[in-house]
Amino acid sequence: MPSPSFSLNIGSMDKGLRKLLGTDTFLPYWLLLPTLIFIGIFFLMPLFNAILLSFRTDNGAFTLDYFKRMVKDVHFIEALKYTFLLALTIVPLQVVTALAMALLINTGFKGSRFFLYLFALPLGISDLAAGLIWLSIFTQHGFLNSILYSLGIIDKPIYYISYQNIGLTFLAVVVAEHWRATAIVMVILVAGLQMISKDYLEAAEVLGARGWRKIWYVILPLLKPSLQSALIIRTIFALQTFAVVLALAGDIIPVLSGQAYFWHFLYRNSHIASAYAVFLMVISIAMTWGYLRFLRSRAEVVRA
Amino acid sequence: MRKLSILFAALFIGAFAGVAEEIVWMSTQFVPIAEAEFIRNEVLAPFTEATGIKVKFVGAEYAEFTSRVQAEYEAGKGQIAVLCGLHGDLSPLAEALADVSGVKTGGTIPEGLTKLAVIGGRQVYVPFVQATYLMVVNKKALAYLPYGVNPWALTYEGLLKWAENIYKATGEKKLGIPAGPKSLLHRFIHGYLYPSFTGYQVLAFDSGAAVKMWNFMKELWEYVNPAAPTWDSMDTPLLSEEVWIAWDHTARVKQAIIERPDDFIAIPSPAGPFGRGFITVLGGLAIPKVSPNPDAAAKLIEYLTSPEVQVKILQGVGFFPVVAEAAGALPKGALQILARGVSAQAASPDAIVSFIPGGISDEYKKIYKDTFFKFVVKGEPVDVKFLRAQATRLRELYLEANAPYPAPDGG
C-alpha cells in the first residue's frame, strides 16, 4: 500500500490548523523547527557562550588576556603541534584504509556483509573504552610485550608508552585511533559506492578500463562527494581527538581539546578553556572551508 | 487530682533529665547519609549505652557550620556541645572555641598533629581523623635496599640510591610517581617536595633551595617508570609490578594492598634537607566556648579518640586514625598495612606538616604541575626566570583570594 504523501495530509487538515501552519510554502520550516530549536539550545547557545567567555572577564569587560595566556601556556605549542600531527597522520591513513575496505565490501563477494559488520564493530565502542583496550595492549606488562616475550623476540619489556620515546607513544595513539574511527569513513564510502550507477562501471569495462584504471578514473571521481563529507567529518573529529590520547598518552602527548578539558575541569578556569575551544573551532571551520573549496566536484566547478 | 499532678511532675522531671543528657554534635564531615547513619548507629549508639549520654549528630555544610557557631558565640549562649570539622573549617572560628589542651584523649596523639591545632597560643581542637599520601612498596624492592637506608626513615637521597640499585639489578625503572593529567602530582610537589627541600610550599618557590630541589628531581626522574606521565593513580602499576615503589593518596593505592596484602608495605614519605614534608588532611573535634555541656563533650572526645573507635571509623568511612595505638588495634589486612604507614608518617620526629591550600583558584595546581612538566618531564634546564614568574603568579592567586598561605608557610 503506498503511503500518503504530504500534500494529501495537508489536504485533509482542518482549516484552522492549515491557516496556522500556512500553506505548503511554510510547512518545511515548521517541520524544521524542532531541529532548529534543538540546535539553538544545545549547540548555538553554548557556542555563543563560549565565545563570550573567551573574550569577556567576569566583570563583563572585553579582554584578549585569556588568549594571551593560552598561547603562553607551557603546553600550548606542543598541544597545537600534536593536534595537527595527529590529524595529518590519521586522516589520510584512515581514508586509504576505509576506501580499501569499502571497495572490498562493494565487490559483493560471499560473506561481504559479515566483513561489513566486522569492520564496523569498533564504532560501537566508546572512545575512552577503546583507549583503555589499547592501553592494556601497549602498557609495559601488556599483551603486546607478553606475546613478544613468550615468542622469545624480546628479553625485556619495551616501553611503548614513554615520555622518553614520544615517537613510539605517538604511533600507539595512531594505531588505536585508526582502529577505532576508520569504520565511520568506511560506512560513508560504502554508501557512496552503492549510489554509483552500474551503467558507468559497465561503460568503463566496455571501453577497456579495468582494475586500478577503473578505480582511479571512474569510481574515485564519482565518489568525490562522499569522500568530501567523510574527510570533513573525520578531520573535525581528529582535531577533537581526546579520550584515546588521554588514556594512552596522558601528559606525554598534549592535544588542544585535552587542554580545554583540563582548564575547565581541573583548574576551573572556563575562560581559558573557552579560548581553547574557540581556537579549535576556528581551525575546524578553516579546514572545512578548505575541503569545500578544493574538493568541489567538477559539476560545481563548472557552475561556479 | 493530686495523683495527676504527681504524674505530671514525674513526667516533667523525666523529660528534663532526658534533655539534660542529650548533647548536639555538629560536623562538616560524615555528612552523606550513609556516613551519618554509620556514625549514629555504629559509633554513637555504643557511647550512649556506656555513658547514658545521648548524642544528636547533625551534619552541616561549611557555610551553615561557620555561621551557626559564630552566631551562638556572639549570642553568648549555645546549643551545640561539640564540633567536628577539617582544620580549615575550625581554624577561622578559633576565637569561638574553648581551649581543649586539658581534655583527655582515648589514645596518644602525635605532637606534630596537636601542634597544628594550637592557634593564638591555645589548642582549639583535638586531632580526630586524617587522610594523607604516602609510599607503598612491593616487598620485592626491599631486597635491593642500599646499605644504611632505612625504609621507615627514608630520605630522598636514600630513595634515589634505592631506585638506582633496582635499576642496576633489574634494568627496569621501578619507581612510580603519578604524573598523569588527573593525578595528584601537585600534592606531591607542594606538600612533599617543596616543604622537604625548602621548608615552605609557597614562600620559597623560586629560592636557591628550590633550584637544588628541581635538579634533584631531574636526577630521581631517571629511575621513574617512563609511563608515569600517563598515570592518574598508582594502584594499577603497583599491581602489574610496573613499579615497586610508589607515592600516592591512600585511597589511590588501597586497591593494590586489598588485592595482595602480603606483597606490600606502606611507609612514610621521604625526608629532605629541611625535614619530612607531608600533607595531612586533618579533622578535629572542638568544644565551643558557649557549649551547654562541656563535660559531656569532653567525654565524647575521649571516646572518639580511643583506638577502637578510631579503627571503626577507618573501616566505616575510610578516614585514618590519629592515635598511635590504633594501627595495632586493626585486624590484619590492607587497612592495617596502610594505617601503620600513616601513623609512622604522622609520628615522624622530623615532620613538616603541610595543609592543602584553601579558598584560592585551582590554577595553583597547574603552576606546580607545569613547573614539574617543564623541568622534569621535558628535561629543560632549571630556569630561575621561569621559576620567578611562576612564583609571582602563585602569590597573585593568594592575593586575589585574600587567602592565607597554608602550613608550613603560615596559617
pLDDT at position A8 over 50: no
Residue-wise pLDDT tens digits, B226-250: 999 999 999 999 999 999 999 999 9
pLDDT at A7: 46
Tally of CA atoms within 13 A in the half-sphere of B187 that contains its CB? 25
Determine whether B72 is exposed, middle or buried from the number of CB atoms within 10 Å of its CB (0-12, 13-18, 19+). Answer: buried
A265–chain B nearest CA distance, Å: 10
Q: Cα angle vertex B367, ends B362, A62, to 5°?
A: 65
Q: Cα angle vertex A31, ends A29, A36, to 5°?
A: 75
First to last CA, chain B: 65
Higher pLDDT, B162 or B113: B162
B204–chain A nearest CA distance, Å: 21
Residue-wise pLDDT tens digits, B179-235: 998 899 999 999 999 999 999 999 999 999 999 999 999 999 999 999 999 999 999
Helix (H, G, I), strand (E, B) or coil at B365: helix
CB B262 within 8 A of CB B128: no
**Which of B227, B363, B366 is nearest residue A162 as measured by Cβ atoms?**
B227
pLDDT at position B11 over 50: no
pLDDT at A1: 40
Q: Is A115 on the interface with B (CB under 8 A)?
A: no
Neighboring chain B residues of A249 at a CB cutoff of 8 Å? 230
Higher pLDDT, B253 or A6: B253
pLDDT at position A215 over 60: yes
> Looking at this predicted complex, what is its ipTM?
0.80
Residue-wise pLDDT tens digits, B353-392: 999 987 788 899 999 999 999 999 999 999 999 999 999 9
Q: What is the mean predicted confidence (pLDDT) over A108-124?
A: 87
Q: How many CB pairs under 8 A join A and B?
A: 72
Neighboring chain B residues of A75 at a CB cutoff of 8 Å? 370, 373
pLDDT at position A12 over 70: no
pLDDT at position A23 over 80: no
Residue-wise pLDDT tens digits, B320-340: 999 989 888 888 888 999 999
pLDDT at position B76 over 70: yes
Neighboring chain B residues of A161 at a CB cutoff of 8 Å? 226-227, 230
Neighboring chain A residues of B231 at a CB cutoff of 8 Å? 250
- Residue B290 DSSP class: T
Give me the helices (H) in chain A, please: 6-12, 15-21, 27-39, 45-55, 65-72, 76-106, 112-120, 127-138, 143-150, 166-195, 198-206, 211-214, 220-239, 243-249, 256-265, 270-294, 298-303
Whose grid coordinates read 636514600? B158
CB A173 within 8 A of CB A86: yes
pLDDT at A15: 66
pLDDT at position B402 over 80: yes
Determine whether B216 is exposed, middle or buried from the number of CB atoms within 10 Å of its CB (0-12, 13-18, 19+). Answer: middle
How long a stretch of residues is chain A? 304
Interface of B with A (CB under 8 A): 171-172, 179-182, 225-232, 240-242, 361-363, 365-366, 370, 373-374, 377
- Residue B225 DSSP class: -
Neighboring chain B residues of A73 at a CB cutoff of 8 Å? 370
A267 with B363: Cβ contact below 8 A? yes
C-alpha to C-alpha distance for A288 and A239, rounded to whole angstroms: 12
Cross-strand bridge partners of residue B126: B285
Q: What is the mean predicted confidence (pLDDT) over A275-293?
A: 92
Predicted confidence band of residue A244 (pLDDT cuts 50, 70, 90) = very high
pLDDT at position B16 over 50: no
- Residue B100 DSSP class: -
| C-alpha grid cell, residue A193 | 559506492
Nearest to A22 by CA among A39, A10, A34: A10
Q: What is the CA radius of gyration of chain A?
A: 25
pLDDT at A102: 92
A244–chain B nearest CA distance, Å: 12
Predicted confidence band of residue B6 (pLDDT cuts 50, 70, 90) = low
Whose grid coordinates read 595482595? B260
CATH number of A84-253: 1.10.3720.10
Long-range contacts from B36-39, C-beta under 8 angstroms, 24+ separation = B38/B316, B38/B317, B39/B316, B39/B317
Higher pLDDT, B300 or B89: B300
Core vs surface per residue A19-33: b (16+ CB within 10 A) or e: eeeeeeeebeeeeee
C-alpha to C-alpha distance for A192 and A98, rounded to whole angstroms: 12
**Which of B225, B229, B362 is nearest residue A266 as measured by Cβ atoms?**
B362
pLDDT at A26: 78
B357 preceded by cis ω (within 30°)? no
pLDDT at B17: 47
CA B30 to chain centre: 15
**Which of A140, A250, A266 is nearest residue B365 as measured by Cβ atoms?**
A266
Helix (H, G, I), strand (E, B) or coil at B102: coil
pLDDT at B13: 47
CA B87 to chain centre: 10
pLDDT at B33: 87
A87–chain B nearest CA distance, Å: 21
* Average pLDDT across chain B, whole number: 91
CB A277 within 8 A of CB A66: no
Q: Which is the CATH superfamily of the domain at B132-278+353-401? A: Periplasmic binding protein-like II (3.40.190.10)
B248–chain A nearest CA distance, Å: 17
Neighboring chain B residues of A74 at a CB cutoff of 8 Å? 370, 373-374
C-alpha to C-alpha distance for B198 and B162, rounded to whole angstroms: 23
pLDDT at position A162 over 50: yes
Q: Is A130 on the interface with B (CB under 8 A)?
A: no
**pTM higher than the cut 0.95:** no
Cross-strand bridge partners of residue B286: B83
pLDDT at A197: 85
CA–CA distances in Å: residue B307 to residues A259, B106, B298: 46, 7, 16
C-alpha to C-alpha distance for B351 and B57, rounded to whole angstroms: 33
| C-alpha grid cell, residue A291 | 575541503
Instruction: Tell which CATH classification among 3.40.190.10, 3.50.50.60, 2.40.30.10, 3.40.50.620 matches the domain B2-131+280-340.
Output: 3.40.190.10
pLDDT at A254: 93
C-alpha to C-alpha distance for A282 and A262, rounded to whole angstroms: 20
Q: Which of B174, B230, B374 to mutate to test the interface with A (most CBs of A within 10 A)?
A: B230
Predicted confidence band of residue A2 (pLDDT cuts 50, 70, 90) = very low
- Residue A124 DSSP class: G
Q: Cα angle vertex B228, ends B384, A155, to 5°?
A: 125
